[in-house]
A and B are shown apart, each in its own frame.
Chain A
Amino acid sequence: MVAAPSVPLGTMQAAATPARPVPATSPVVELLGVTKRFPGVLAVDHVDLALLPGEVHALLGENGAGKSTLVAMLSGLVEPDAGRIRVAGEERRIASPRAALQQGISTVFQHVMLVPTLTVLENLVLGMSWWRRPDRAELEQRLAGIRSAFGIALDLDQTTGELSLGEQQQIEIVRALLRRSRVLILDEATSMLTPQGADELGALMRRLVKSGLAVVFITHKLDEACRFGDRITVLRLGRKVGELAPEGLAAMDQAAAVEEVVGLMFGDRSIAEARAPRLRKAEGSPVLSVRGLTVTGATRLARADDVSFELRPGEILGIAGIDGNGQKQLAEALAGQRTAAAGSIVLDGRDITRAGVAERRRLGLRYLTDDRIGEGAVGGFPVATNAVLKEIGAPPFWSGGPFLLGGIERPGRIAAHARELIDRYDVRTPDEATPIGRLSGGNIQKVLLARELSGDARVVVFNKPTHGLDVQNIMASRNRIAAIADAGLAVLLISTDLEELLDVADRIAVMAAGRLTGIVANDEGARARIGALMIGRAA
C-alpha cells in the first residue's frame, strides 16, 4: 500500500461556508484492506477508508479508478473478495442492498434508482413494508421536518419520470433521510446537474453533515472534490494513492491543493498537455446554414425547437447544455437520421433538408454519434468492416456493376484501407480483424472518427465525443477536433462538458429545452455568460 501523503488542505470552500468544527468522533463505517477482482481486472486493491460523521468525504478518481466498485461494496451490490468492513466498530458483512440499508448506509446512484412510472410517494415508500402503505399523514409530517431542516420540498403525487434528474436526486436523498441513514453515498451526483444545481447540492451536503450524517461524495471532477469535500481520498487504478485530511487546514491555497491532488491522480502525467494554438480562424462564407430547424420529440425537453446557426470553414461551434435538452435530436436531424418538422438545412448552398443519410454523407456532412457501440459500430464485426460500415456495397470496397456483378466484397482493399486508418489515427488494436467491441472506448472513437473523415468531409458534427473516455484520450480527442478545424473543416461540437467547449470552441451556443438560448464568442467572461444562459431557460 502506498503511504498516504497526508497533506494539509487549505480552506478551499471558504467562499460560502464558515469555518466548521473538526469532527472528533469515531468512524461510522470503515473499510479495511478491501479487495475486489473481476475477470481480468483488479478493480479495488487493498483500500482502507474511514467514513466519519459530520464529514463530506470526497472520493476522487478517473474512470476505472475503483470508485464505482467501492460504492457497490458499501451499498451491498458486490462483496469484497478480501478485507473487512466495520460498521460502528463492529465487523459486518454487507451481503445485499437490504443489509446495507439496515446498517444505515443509503446510496444515491449515478443513474437514478427510482421507478419512473410510480409517484413520488410510491417511490419513497418502496421497500419499506411489504404489506401496507405507511400512513400518508405521518409521512407528510416527517417530510415537513425534512423540509424545514434541509430545505427539500417534494410534491408527493407527481409521477417520478416527469421530474428533472435534479428533482429525482432530491427524492433519493429524502428517501435516505426517511430511513434515518447514518451514511449517505452520492455517486457522481453532479454529473446530471447544472453548475448552479451542483452548488445547491454542495450546500445541501453541508446541511446534511451538520446534522451528523457521514456523506461520501464520489466524483471525477477535481474542482468539485476540492470545493465540497472535507476530506479527499484519491484513487488510481483500484488503489488508494492518497488522502488529504481536514485537520491541517493551514498553509495551502487552492492552486497548491489542486496541484497536489493532480499529482496523486495522474502520477507524473500532466493533464494539461500543451496544445498548439489554433492555426486559423473561421473564414469565408458559411458552409452550413441551419434556419428554424424544428424536430419533434417524445418529451418537452427532447426536441429541437426553431434552431438557427451558421458554420464557417475552420470554425468550431460548441453547443452547451444539460444532457437531454434536444442536443441529440438536433444532431440526428443534421445527420438525416430524424426528419425535420420545420426549417431548412443548407450545405454549401444546397438545400439538404430532405436529403437522406447517405446523400448528406456523400456531400461531406459527417456525424459522430455519442452512442459509439449502440449505433456507431457493430461490436462483433472486425475493425476493418466497421471502418467501411457506412459504405456497404459501394465501390471501391465492394465491386461495382449491375446486378450480380456489383456488391461483391473486396476483403483485400477493406483490410488495406483499415490498416492505413489504424496507422494514421494511432488505433491501438492487435490487428484490423479484431472485433471492434474488444477495443477501449478511446480506440473505438478513433476508428469512428477515421471513418467519418475519410473521403471528402466538409462539416463534422460531434455529439459528446469525449463522453466516457479517460483523461488522456479526452485530451487526444480534443487535440484531434482542433486539428480537424485547423484543416479547414467546419465542426459542430455538442458537449455537456463546459470545460471542453471553453477549451476548443470558437463560439459557444447554449441549448435548453430544445432551443438555442444564445450564442457567445469564446473569450474572457464566456463562462459567466454561458452560465447565465443556462439558468435563464434550463429546465
Chain B
Amino acid sequence: MEALLTAAFLTALLAGAVAAGVPLLLAGLGEQMSEKAGVLNIGIEGMMLMGAYLGFLVAFESGNGALGFVAGMAGGMAVAFVMAILCVGLALNQIVIGIGLTLGVEGLTALLHHFQFSTTYPRLPAAWRMPVPGLVELPVIGPALFDRHPLVYLAFLLVPLLAWLYRRTALGLTLRAAGEKPAALDVAGIDVATVRFLAVLFTGAMAGLGGAFMANVAAGIFIPFMTGGAGFIGIVLAMLARGRPAWVLIGAVVFGGALSLTTALQVAGLNVPTDLIQMLPFAAVMAVLVLYGRKARLPAALGLPYVRGAR
C-alpha cells in the first residue's frame, strides 16, 4: 500500500483527474446552460464526439493545435445547430432528437474514421503545455495542476464567469426565466426561441471543446466512440449541480478522479481485479445518484417545447 502514498502516485492521480475531468467539466457547464434555458440536451454526447473528430482531423491535417480547437468547437456547434432547429425551432421532442443525433454522429464519425485513419491510426504530437510561473514549483499539485494545456485553465476560469453570468446579469435572468416559465418571458417581450437557440449553441461549443480536448490533449488520437458516455455524465453533473457552475466543477473532479483512479490503481499494481477497478467511475455515478439524485432541482419547463399561444 505504500506505493499509493508516494508523491509520484498522487501527482499521477491528480493529473489524471484533471485530464479526465476537464471534458466532463466543459460538457457539464455546457449542458447546464441548455438546461437553464429549458432544453434537455441529450444530443451532447454526439456534440462531444463531433468535436473530438473534427478537432483531431483539423489539428492533424493543419498541424495547428489552436485551429483544431476552433474546429472542435465548430463541430459541436454544427450538431447543436441541428438540434436547435429541430427542438427549438420546430418544437420536436428533445429526447428523441437528442438520442437520434448522438447515434447519428457516432455512426458518421466511425465511418469517416474508418476510411481515413483505420489503417494508420495517426497520433498528434504531445500537446502544448503552459506552466504557470511559480505555482508549477509546488509539490504534487504543481505539476498536476499548473503545467497544463491552456484550455485547462480556461475551463476552470469559466466556472466563476458563468456563475457571475447566471447570478448577476440580465442575460442570466433571461436564461432562468426561459427554463422556469417561458410564457412569462415571452410576454415580457423576449423571444424564447432565440434564447434557447443560443443556449443550445453554447452547449455545442462547450461539448465540442471538451471532445477536442479528449482527442487532442488527453489522448492525442481519435478513436471511434472515444467519448464513451462523457456527455451523458455531463448531463448527470448538470442535473445534480442545481444550476450552480461550482457544483459542476466539484462533480467533474469527483468523476474525473474516479476515472483517473482506475488507471492509477492499475499502474500501481494493486492486487485487485482490473474489472473491479474499471467499475469505479460508474459505481461512483450510481452512488452519487442514489445519495443526491432526489435533491436535483430542475427548471420547471425543462424538456418542454415552447409554442406561443398554445396553452
B 58-112 contacts with A by CB, 8 A: none
Write the nearest CB–CB distance from A106 to chain B, whole angstroms. Answer: 9
Contact indicator per residue, chain B 276-311, by CB within 8 Å of chain A (1) or not (0): 000000000000000000000000100000001101
Known contacts A116-B181, A126-B174, A130-B174, then 12 further A-B pairs from the complex at CB < 8 Å, ordered by chain A residue: A97-B189, A98-B191, A101-B188, A101-B189, A102-B189, A113-B183, A116-B300, A117-B180, A118-B177, A130-B171, A130-B190, A131-B170
* Interface pick from A13-21, A71-79, A449-457: A71-79
CB distance from B39 to the nearest CB of A (A): 17
For residue B184, CB closer than 8 A to chain A, the reply is: yes
Residue in chain A with minimal CB distance to B301: A115
Which chain A residues (96-154) contact chain B, with CB distance < 8 Å?
96-98, 101-102, 107, 109, 111, 113-118, 122-123, 125-133
Can you list 9 A-B pairs with a CB-CB distance of less than 8 A? A77-B308, A97-B187, A107-B187, A117-B176, A118-B176, A127-B185, A127-B189, A130-B171, A133-B168
- How many residues of A are counted as interface, with CB atoms below 8 angstroms from the partner's CB atoms? 30
Q: Mark A234-274, 1 if CB is under 8 A from B, else 0.
A: 00000000000000000000000000000000000000000
B173 within 8 A of A: yes
Q: Which residues of B contact A133 (CB under 8 A)?
A: 168-170, 173
Say yes or no: A126-B188 contact (C-beta < 8 A), given A72-B309, A77-B309, A132-B170. Answer: yes
Residues of B near A128 (CB, < 8 A) are: 170
Q: Are the CB atoms of B187 and A115 closer together than 8 Å? A: no
Per the bound structure, the CA–CA distance linking A109 and B186 in Å amounts to 12
Cβ distance B126 to chain A, nearest Cβ, rounded Å: 41
**Chain B nearest CB: distance from A439 CB in Å?**
21
Once the chains bind, are B187 and A109 in contact (CB under 8 Å)? yes
CB pair A131 B171 closer than 8 Å:
yes
Find the residue from A117, A129, A133, A175 having the highest chain B CB count within 10 A.
A117
Write out the residue numbers on chain A whose beta carbons fall within 8 Å of the beta carbon of B177. 115, 118, 126
Closest A-B pairs by Cβ, 5 of them: A127-B188, A98-B189, A113-B184, A127-B189, A101-B189
When distances are taken between beta carbons in the complex, the residues of chain A under 8 Å from B189 are 96-98, 101-102, 127
A120 to chain B minimum Cβ distance, whole angstroms, is 13
| Shortest beta-carbon distance from B89 to chain A in Å | 16
Is the beta-carbon distance between B185 and A115 smaller than 8 angstroms?
yes
Name A265-324 residues within 8 Å CB distance of B: none
- Smallest CB separation, A200 vs chain B (Å): 24
Q: Kindly list chain A residues whose C-beta atoms are within 8 Å of the C-beta of B180.
A: 115-118
List the interface of chain A (C-beta within 8 A of B). Answer: 72, 75, 77-78, 96-98, 101-102, 107, 109, 111, 113-118, 122-123, 125-133, 175
- Which bucket holds chain B's interface residue count? 20 to 34
Out of B185, B191, B300, which one reaches A126, CB within 8 Å?
Answer: B185
CB pair A125–B170 under 8 Å, yes or no, is: yes
Q: Closest residue of chain B to A132, judged by CB?
A: B170
CA distance A133 to B168 in the complex (A): 8
How long is the Cα–Cα vector from A116 to B176 in the complex, in angstroms?
Answer: 11
B192 to A, closest residue via Cβ: A97
Q: How far is the CA of A116 from the CA of B184 in the complex (A)?
A: 10
Contact with A along B107-121 (1 / 0, CB 8 A): 000000000000000
Contact yes or no, A96 B191, CB < 8 A: yes
Determine which of B173, B176, B187, B300 lies in contact with A75 in the assembled complex, contact meaning CB atoms within 8 Å. Answer: B187
Q: Specify which chain B residues have a CB less than 8 angstroms from the CB of A127 in the assembled complex.
A: 174, 185, 188-190
Bound complex: CA A238 to CA B188 (Å): 27
Q: Report yes or no: B309 in contact with A126, Cβ–Cβ below 8 A.
A: no
Please report the C-alpha to C-alpha distance between residue A126 and residue B176 in the assembled complex, in whole angstroms. 10
Contact A129 B187 (CB under 8 A): no
Q: Within the complex, what minimum Cβ distance (angstroms) separates B161 from chain A?
A: 15
Asked if B309 contacts A97 (CB within 8 A), the reply is no
Does the CB pair A126–B308 fall under 8 Å?
Answer: no
Q: Report the Cα distance A132→B169, complex, angstroms.
A: 5
List residues of chain A with CB within 8 A of the CB of B173. Answer: 118, 122, 125-126, 133
* Shortest Cβ gap from B71 to chain A (Å): 29
CA distance A125 to B171 in the complex (A): 11
Q: Mark B236-261, 1 if CB is under 8 A from A, else 0.
A: 00000000000000000000000000
For B308, what are the chain A residues with a Cβ–Cβ distance below 8 Å?
77, 97
* Known contacts A75-B187, A97-B187, A114 near B181 by CB under 8 Å: yes
CB A77 to nearest CB in B, in angstroms, measures 5
**Contact at A114–B170, with CB atoms within 8 Å?**
no
Cβ distance B87 to chain A, nearest Cβ, rounded Å = 21
Residues of the A chain whose Cβ atoms lie less than 8 Å from the Cβ of B174: 126-127, 130
Q: What is the minimal beta-carbon distance from B182 to any residue of chain A, in angstroms?
A: 9
Q: Which of B183, B188, B190 lies at the interface centre, i.e. has the most chain A CB atoms within 10 A of its CB?
A: B188
B190 partner residues in chain A, CB cutoff 8 A? 98, 126-127, 130
Instruction: Establish whether residues A130 and B170, one from each chain, have CB atoms under 8 Å apart when the complex forms.
Output: yes
Contact A115 B184 (CB under 8 A): yes
- CB-nearest residue of chain A to B183: A113
One digit per residue, 1 when the CB lies within 8 angstroms of any chain A CB and 0 when it does not, for chain B 204-236 equals 000000000000000000000000000000000
Please measure, in the bound complex, the distance between the C-alpha atom of A78 and the C-alpha atom of B177, giving whole angstroms: 22
A129 B170 Cβ-Cβ under 8 A? yes
Closest residue on chain B to residue A101 by CB atoms: B189
Complex Cα distance, B168 from A114, in Å, reads 19
Say how far B212's CB is from chain A's closest CB, in angstroms: 29
